[in-house]
Structure 1
Amino acid sequence: MDSLFSQNKQVPLAHAVRPKNWSEFVGQTQVVQSLKSIPKPTSILFYGPPGSGKTTLAHLLTQSWSLEKRYLSCVTSGLKEVREVLDEAKRRGTIVLFLDEIHRFSSSQQDALLSAVEEGEIILIAATTENPSFRVNKALLSRMLVYRLTSLSEAEENYIFESCLTKLNHKQTFPEDLKKELFRRSSGDARKLLGYLERILNATNDTEKITESKLAEILGENVIFYDKNSESHYDIISAFIKSLRGSDPDAAIFYLALMIEGGEDPLFIARRLVIFASEDIGNASVHALPLAIATWQAVERVGMPEGRIPLSQCTTFLASAPKSNASYLAIDKALQMVRERKREFQIPNHLRNAPTATHKNEGAGKDYQYPHDFPDHFVREKYFPDSFYPNPPEFYEPTNQGMEKNLKDQLRKHWGDKK
């Protein structure tokens, strides 16, 4: 095997073949073009998934600026190490400080960087896998250029894979289906891909044929990456809800499977189904909410893995059911009016409760018309406060979807065009 690999047995392959210049870097085309056009050193934050090139871009930028650099991981370092770099910068001049996983620093730790960044004592290059809007101080963000990186495409992974084999002068060939399996497992993470390749090369020789069973033996079971505290958690539940709303049961089931396999709390999923049933289906199918609540109870009582079955049943029903958000819109409109006019009305006398003789003497409940005493159990009556007339508000606007159309027809029958 080539000396690049054999002489660096203790160095991870991903580090050994890290790009040394811009031409070797693969992916993030628009970001790279933007970085190369920056006129002078400036503080930058990279955020994106693991293995998308954040650290490598930091190295290439520092190299192009010809500045001293210091690397700190916010997982293992704290303010003591940061202050040492700041003191060094005051003595020697501007230093590039690369902070990996900056979201691990507390708000006060991040604040300690503000003055040095503002005055140019350090050029801060930070990296995070989290959305910086949630995890990085706004004051610090305002002093940095922010670049979002994306997972590598399969074509980019293939280029990295083949380039690495060429650098290693490795003669072993990989069938296309096995390469695709590696790309599937790595999910656009170059570091993970090269880690897989390193394990394969360590476990085989140039003449050994790599089969699917051999690959599984070397790499073991593929574990889905799903961090319940990361942005991916919110992205997947968002995609799940939007697939339900878009009436695509297959896509919804896919995201449900991702969450289940990733170890998401099944009761969290069940609670979201309950909310969705009322918010997005409502009266278009009055079976939706009871089913969602029953699903919640079933999952709570039977646990997993059996709980996946009622979750799937509920998911497919909610995705396939007619949709209406009329009830959801109605309460929000009513709440807005109450907040705006909360002191501008009083309950009409005929709607007031009359538990005592004093209340009756005041007129409470007088002239109330009991609907069940009238044909069709309905009588036209004023139910809003008097100040709302002659044009009382209409909050609930039933749709023609599913069972809600029956409610709409019933209301039209009673109220005419008012409903």
Structure 2
Amino acid sequence: MDSLFDRSPLPHRIRPSTFSEVIGQEKAKFQLQKFREPVSIILYGPPGTGKTTVARILGKIWNLPFVEYNAVTTGVADIKKLLEKAESGGSILLFLDEIHRFSSSQQDSLLKGVETGRLVLVGATTENPAFRITRPLLSRCQVLKLDPFEAHEMKEILSRGISHLTPSPSVSEGAREILVRYSGGDARKLLSLLEGLSLSVEPGTEISGKDTEVFLESRVLEYDQTGESHYDVISAFIKSVRGSDPDAALFYLALMLEGGEDPIFIARRLIILASEDVGNASVYGLPLAVSGLHALEAIGMPEGRIILSHVTTFLASCPKSNASYKGISSASSFVRERGTALNIPNRLKNAPTHLHKKEGAGKGYKYPHDFGGFTDFEYFPDDLSENPPQFYRPTRNGMEAKLREYLSGVWKKTKGKDYE
């Protein structure tokens, strides 16, 4: 039971003190058992997955003085003082929350202590360490990933939280399902919601699904516009459009918009996708995406969400082709390998003056429209003309099938280019 004088948040009050009390995270606990001696660790995982809990338990197991800093409010001077203390009094376990917010120079201040073992670092981050932790520090630490809790684990955590409230409320199965689903694998969020919900209803009454829905409607959707989740959601959005699933795409679009994402950022990504993934399979995709951006800038939000939905559903429903994207990538690789010092033949050069014409610029060029729109001609430099490379390989999808048919008809007979 809670002490009447202990009004710390519920997640803190019921924090496990041993690994046997930790629900879930079986893979992480298995790895942690291998660390028989103190070792510096980077704990990487979403919020509410137990990073602080793991650090505190390790401090007890290794019997080390435990110091907790947050990278947002900690500087190099604090680290230096801690190192001086460790040098004179023995090793210290430093739990550095949000370590990804430390700059490169701040992270470098940790190296000496970690190297000598005087500072046993347990860093916590929601960002991928490979992107946000410097290589020298990363090489001196073990990396341990904590996963979001599964639904059955969240239900067990919820039951534990209910039993530690005073008085212990009655929570309907419907309410439990909603809380677990809304918390998205974040145990701290789940327990905080439970505590707030229990205070919002009359004591002694059962918390219903309706009570829970009303309570959650007043809360702001949590969405990190700068963290890794920002990139994860836009990635899921783009992949859904590319995969021709308009419903999943709209789900991620709504998640971003409700979370406060910059709609211009979304519109720009859709423009890129229109060329990269739709391309010539539907030539209306790019103009629509560009028009969507202009319309969004003119209209603004919240009506702009309709424009984004319009563009998203069209692009998701289009035939797809990445032939243009692959074509420029292939051509760029070819140019990088051969270099850019290619001699442009005279027949392809412009002849704006009499002197240029005298030097032969433009001589021999065949104007296609004089031959019905196409004529056999060599556009590559002479040293590539015998075996000209082929970069663009149109698909049979959507409108690109017509382009494929045309190109095959005019080039296969003359230059042997195979577009079939």
Give yes or no for TM over 0.5.
Answer: yes
Q: In the alignment, which residue of structure 2 is the partner of 1:311?
A: 308
Deviations 1:71-126 (A, max 9, x none): 11222222222222211111111111111111222211111110110011111111
Q: In the alignment, which residue of structure 2 is the partner of 1:144?
A: 141
> SS of the residue aligned with 1:127?
strand
Task: State the alpha-carbon separation in 2 of the partners of residues 134 and 152 from structure 1.
Answer: 24
Q: 1:343 to 1:185 in 2, by over 3 A?
A: closer
Structure 2 residue aligned with 1:156, among 153, 156, 163?
153
* Letter aligned with residue 210 of structure 1: I
Structure 2 residue aligned with 1:233, among 221, 230, 239?
230
Does the 8 Å CA contact 1:199/1:219 hold for their aligned counterparts?
A: no
Deviations 1:34-81 (A, max 9, x none): 101212110001011111100000111111111221111222222222
> SS of the residue aligned with 2:67?
strand
Q: How does 1:12-91 map to 2 (within 5 A)?
A: 12-91=9-88
* Letter aligned with residue 268 of structure 2: R
* Letter aligned with residue 380 of structure 1: D
Q: In the alignment, which residue of structure 2 is the partner of 1:339?
A: 336
Q: In the alignment, which residue of structure 2 is the partner of 1:357?
A: 354
Task: State the alpha-carbon separation in 2 of the partners of residues 42 and 191 from structure 1.
Answer: 26
| Range 334-343 or range 183-192, more displaced | 334-343
* Letter aligned with residue 411 of structure 2: W
Does the 8 Å CA contact 1:5/1:16 hold for their aligned counterparts?
A: no
CA apart distance, 1:132: 1.7
1:297 to 2:290 alignment:
no
CA apart distance, 1:130: 1.7
CA apart distance, 1:213: 4.7
The CA RMSD over aligned residues, in Å, is 1.7
* Letter aligned with residue 254 of structure 1: F
Does the 8 Å CA contact 2:48/2:188 hold for their aligned counterparts?
A: yes
Q: How does 1:207-356 map to 2 (within 5 A)?
A: 207-216=204-213, 218=215, 221-356=218-353
> SS of the residue aligned with 2:94?
strand
Task: State the alpha-carbon separation in 1 of the partners of residues 90 and 158 from structure 2.
Answer: 40
Structure 2 gap segments, 5+ residues each: none
TM-score (norm 2): 0.94
Structure 2 residue aligned with 1:396, among 384, 392, 412?
392
1:101 to 2:98 alignment:
yes
Q: How many residues align?
A: 415
Q: In the alignment, which residue of structure 1 is the partner of 2:4?
A: 6
CA apart distance, 1:235: 0.5
CA apart distance, 1:143: 0.5
Does the 8 Å CA contact 2:154/2:187 hold for their aligned counterparts?
A: yes
Task: State the alpha-carbon separation in 1 of the partners of residues 83 and 349 from structure 2.
Answer: 71
Task: State the alpha-carbon separation in 2 of the partners of residues 196 and 385 from structure 1.
Answer: 68
Task: State the alpha-carbon separation in 2 of the partners of residues 343 and 295 from structure 1.
Answer: 37
* Letter aligned with residue 397 of structure 2: Q
Q: 1:347 to 1:318 in 2, by over 3 A?
A: same
1:177 to 2:196 alignment:
no
Structure 2 residue aligned with 1:407, among 391, 396, 403?
403
> SS of the residue aligned with 1:6?
coil
Q: 1:247 to 1:217 in 2, by over 3 A?
A: closer
Task: State the alpha-carbon separation in 2 of the partners of residues 62 and 71 from structure 1.
Answer: 11
Task: State the alpha-carbon separation in 1 of the partners of residues 358 and 73 from structure 2.
Answer: 76
Task: State the alpha-carbon separation in 2 of the partners of residues 287 and 212 from structure 1.
Answer: 46
Does the 8 Å CA contact 2:244/2:316 hold for their aligned counterparts?
A: yes
1:188 to 2:185 alignment:
yes
State, as a whole percentage, how many aligned pairs show the same letter: 51
Q: In the alignment, which residue of structure 1 is the partner of 2:130?
A: 133
Does the 8 Å CA contact 1:5/1:168 hold for their aligned counterparts?
A: no
Deviations 1:127-170 (A, max 9, x none): 11222222221111110001111221221111011123334575
TM-score (norm 1): 0.95
* Letter aligned with residue 288 of structure 2: L
